[in-house]
Structures are given as structure tokens and as C-alpha cells.
Amino acid sequence: MSTPTPRAPMLSTAEALATLLSAASPIDGTESIPTLDALNRVLSADVMSPLDVPPMNTSAMDGYAIRTKDLASDGNRRLPVLQRIPAGHAPEPLKPGTAARIFTGATVPPGADAIVMQEQTEAAGNDVTILHSPSPGEWITAQGADIRSGSIILPAGTRLTPQALGLAASVGCAALQVRRRVKVAVFFTGDELTMPGEPLKPGAIYNSNRFTLRGLLEKLGCEVTDYGIVPDKLDATRATLREAAQAHDLILTCGGVSVGEEDHVKPAVEAEGRLSMWQIAMKPGKPLAFGAVRRAAQQTDAAASAETFFIGLPGNPVSSFATFLLFVRPFVLLLAGMKAVAPRALSLRADFSQKKADRRNEFLRARINPAGGLDLFPNQSSAVLTSTVWGDGLIDNPPNHAISIGETVRFIPFSELLN
């Protein structure tokens, strides 16, 4: 009787993440799109400013532009006002011994070296009395104080937020060079899965993962092809993998990656490509598969890759949600051309105790309470999707570690993981 081959040890979460991220590199393909349409896209080239911002010296206050040396030592502080300068108007040079009425954001007239705010003056007719002794440069925003011409304001690899679009617009960029969207094919396995709106037969469940994962992919800016629910059959799974591999950067599946007789995704990927990772020592989410699926030989683009990346997520809803956030999200962001993909974590107080330690790295659903500590969702089952809506994030609890009340723990907010 032959001795069974021992299973390979499960990878730690750090080892698994390193395996995924080492395989990812930015996809080919860029395009120029209007800045107004570039929200959440990733820059493929640096944005360099062609001008100073502001492009001239501007007033930071409503008040009066003066020459500080005109405030005579003999106490004469009454100056005639010969100009009125609203924002957007070109001023005349300031004549010696005069003042100019000026408004916030307006161009400082040549010759003026200070702005006196209107609260520190007294106006009478066409004259103004200065009640304050300003220093040179006071309330003047110097040309180039924010941005210097020729400087890089947004480096390649930046994901464009609303404020980044505003920054690009502030230097006159009407269009931006961005990477194309990451193309992801997604499908779901399980004969028990039913779509909302359809009758729920005995033993069936609604396919919540389809909604969660598609939403997560679209939030990352991916171009998603949804192949829907694939029958629990090896030949159907292989056929879908072959079709999905042709025009996508990543195939993402949910369910079927365990070792049961009805779990066909793992053998299907091994038949159509390769698996370089399978199980992770984490809870929830142990059965996570990573590899690639071969593309057909009649690839029209000779420079294109010969295979498409594959990630298989577990079927339990919290497991698929957590593994997507921790592994798929950074992988997709690297494909999209981003450089900084690690979520920022917080050190927060646990206002609970968990006496039973697990041998795996646990990711516990928790939320921040009004006192600034963390409360734990009472049911940490991988099937309890309500915990992901109730919670504010995940506690990253190391293997074999019991949590004591008052202890400081590592907390990763959903605001980071969903960004």
C-alpha cells in the first residue's frame, strides 16, 4: 500500500501576498482622455507643470496694495487711491506715494510690496489711511508659491482623485495620459446558486458574491466581463476558462477551489494552465488559488502575454470579501500601474477579549466605538455577511494570539481597503 503524498504546508498571509505581488506588473496600453473624465484612472506618465502657480503675485486679502517705504517716518500714512484691482484684471504699476484698492486673488501691481487688509485701514473719499506697519511681502502670495514651472505635480502611477484632477486643471491640463482599464473576467460556480428575482429552490442560496465582487472590481475601475454562474462540471469550467483567457488580464472565480468532489475550478485551472499557490493560513479564506490560464495559439498580437492571470476565491461570502480586499485589490492595482498599494493600518484599543487563539492569521470584523476603541462583531463565521456591513474594518490578528481587553491591535479600515 503506497504512502499518500503529504500536503504542502499552507502559506502565511505575508508569503501569499508576496507571491501574488511579485507576479504583477503594469499592463500594456495607454490612452489620452479628457481630464474631466479621468477620475480613478491611473496616470501612465508624469504630469509636469508648464507654468508657475500662481502665475503672478496675488493678494491674499481684500485691502490695499502699497509700497512699504511710502509709509513715511514722519507719521504720514494717508495715501491717495488711484487704482481698483479686482481678480482677473491687469493692474497698472503702482505710482510712488499711492495705494491701490485690491481684492483677494487679484494681481499685485508692479511696485507694490505689501497688502494691508482693509480692517487695518480707514477710507475717506479717494484716500486711505494705513493703520498698520506691514512688513515687505505681507499678505502677498508670491508667484510660484504653490507650483514651479517644470516641476512634476503628479507622478506616473498616481490614481486620480478629485483633488488630483483639480491640481492637473490648475496648470492647464485638458487631457491626461492614463493606462487602459484592467480587464477582468469573473464567474461563479455552484449548482446551489440562484439569482435574486428567481424562485429559491430547496437547498439553493442567492448569489450574493456576484454582487459583492462585481461591485469591488468596478470600484477599482476595472472593465468587467461577467460570465455568470457556471455549472458544477469540469468540462464547463474548462471551457469558460479558455474563453475568458483570450481577452482579459485576470480571471477571477468564486467557489470551487476546495478539495470536494464538486469543486472543479482547481483541476480545471491545472488542466488549462498552472497553479502556483493554493491554500493560505488565514481565517476566513483558506482556499485561495493563484496561477494562470493559457491563451489560445492564434493570438493576433505577437507581443501579448501567452497566459492570463487567475485568482480563485473561496465561496463563503465573508471569505471571498476578505480575500479580495487583502489579495485581489493590491494585485489589480499593480496591474493598473499603481505603485503604492498597501493599505494603511491603525493601532487601536480592543474593547473586548477573545480568549481562544487560532493557529491561522485571523481577520476579525470590528468597528470603532464612540470611545475610540474597537468592538468585535459577535459572530465571526465566514458565512455571516452582515458583519461586513456592520463593521468598519478588519483586525489583523497574528496566528496563535488571544486578544486581551485593552490590548492594542492592528486595525485595517474598510476605507483603506475599499479605496
What class, spelled out in words, does domain 13-28+181-335 have in CATH? alpha beta
pLDDT at 2: 44
pLDDT above 50 (res 4): no
- Altogether, the residues listed in the chain come to a count of 419
Pairing of strands 223-230, 183-189: parallel
Over residues 83-101, the mean pLDDT reads 96
pLDDT band at 419 (very low <50, low <70, confident <90, very high): confident
Q: How far is residue 332 from each of residues 31, 143, 222, measured CA to CA in Å?
A: 18, 40, 8
Average pLDDT for residues 163-183, to the nearest whole number?
97
**Which CATH architecture does the domain made up of 30-52+149-179 adopt?**
Alpha-Beta Complex (3.90)
**Cα angle 281-287-292, degrees, rounded to a multiple of 5:** 115
Closest CA to 60 of 2, 117, 139, 4: 139
Cβ distance 261 to 320 under 8 Å?
no
- Retrieve residue 76's grid coordinates: 504720514
Residue ranges of the domains in the chain? 13-28+181-335, 30-52+149-179, 58-141, 346-417
* Residue 204 pLDDT > 70: yes
Fold equal for 30-52+149-179 and 346-417: no
For residue 368, which of 353, 381, 354, 349 has the smallest C-alpha distance?
349
Are β-strands 346-349 and 408-413 bridged in parallel, bridged antiparallel, or unpaired? antiparallel
The three three-digit cell numbers of residue 251, written as one number = 480571471
Band (263; pLDDT cuts 50, 70, 90)? low
What mean pLDDT do residues 59-79 have? Answer: 87
Beta-sheet strands, E only, within 86-166: 99-102, 114-117, 121-124, 127-130, 140-141, 152-154
- The pLDDT-based confidence of 307 (bands split at 50, 70, 90) is very high
Question: What topology does CATH give the domain 58-141?
Answer: Molybdopterin biosynthesis moeA protein; domain 3 (2.170.190)
pTM value? 0.87
Provide the CATH number for the domain formed by 346-417 in this structure. 2.40.340.10
156/42 Cα distance (integer angstroms): 8
- Please name which of 320, 287, 298, 125 lies closest in space to residue 211, comparing C-alpha atoms: 320
β-pairing verdict for 361-368 and 393-397: antiparallel
What percent of the chain has a predicted confidence (pLDDT) above 90? 81
